[in-house]
Amino acid sequence: MKVAFQGKRLWWWEGQAPRLPEPALTLPEGLEVHRVPEDAALPAGVQSLGLREAYGVLPREAWLRAGRAWQWLCWREAHRHCGACGERLEAGEGTGRKCPACGLEVFPAASTAVIVLIRREGELLLARSPHFQPGVYSAVAGFTEPGESLEQAVHREVMEELGVRIHRLTYFSSQPWPFPNGLMAGFKAEYLDGELRPDPSEIEDARWFSLDHLPGLPGELSIARWLLEDALGRGMTPSGV
């Protein structure tokens, strides 16, 4: 199996693979990840796609495989040299990299984030970032911080971004998020108390929406949409389930 990237764009083909440079790395399952030169011409029969636009074009498993390959490639390219002394890293134990000078070892990791859909009687609390498409609202999300659990991160993010407290927190599912190297852990919760006060540095707008009158929703690509479909009784299959 082969996956190829030119810059941030995926090369997608069906059938025989085009001629490619030597693999930049090979994943543990044997998937070869190739880095194509920026000035290379696009071969006949090959599409050049961003990962987001590739969703719905590629078969689901092929898209997940490409996302996994991209996360590994980004990690490897960001860890060519030791962060402690600057020496070039070498192959280490397992999938890790090791510094031959000072002995520092690093291993592939993802940036973990949490997302939570908050509910009260017949309503969902949704917010929008200035970066969203016009009219689209979603569940609130944020990155975990060192030293906290996923559950602690959920409570902190909700209080910081919305000014409310939640309870009855339950795990929903998770999703690898290759933009560029995230892992999203999804939760559901019920509103407890507090006045809604969105943080203007993070949230453009936040409000309660009736289940019968929801705004524009995130695309089917994301766990945010899976959470919303679950709340509406139209469950979508989470990644890996």
Q: Record the tokens describing residue 38, joined without a space.
A: 């920026």
pLDDT tens digits, one per residue of 161-172: 999 999 999 999
The pLDDT value given to residue 57: 92
Partners of 97 in the β-ladder:
91, 106
The pLDDT value given to residue 180: 83
For residues 60 and 54, give the distance between their C-alpha atoms in angstroms, rounded to a whole number. Answer: 10
Instruction: Please report the sign of the dihedral spanned by the C-alpha atoms of residue 223, residue 158, residue 164, residue 200.
Output: negative
The pLDDT value given to residue 72: 96
Low-confidence ranges of the chain (pLDDT < 70): 236-241
Amino acid present at 47:
Q
What is this structure's pTM?
0.87
Q: Where do the domains of the chain lie? A: 2-78, 80-108, 111-231
% of the chain with per-residue pLDDT over 70: 97
pLDDT tens digits, one per residue of 100-115: 999 999 999 999 999 9
For residues 164 and 127, give the distance between their C-alpha atoms in angstroms, rounded to a whole number. Answer: 13
The pLDDT value given to residue 172: 97
The pLDDT value given to residue 227: 97
CB 133 within 8 A of CB 218: no
Instruction: Please report the sign of the dihedral spanned by the C-alpha atoms of residue 141, residue 146, residue 151, residue 155.
Output: negative
| C-alpha distance from residue 215 to each of 89, 104, 218 (Å) | 49, 49, 10
Partners of 123 in the β-ladder:
120, 210
The CATH architecture of the domain made up of 111-231 is Alpha-Beta Complex (3.90)
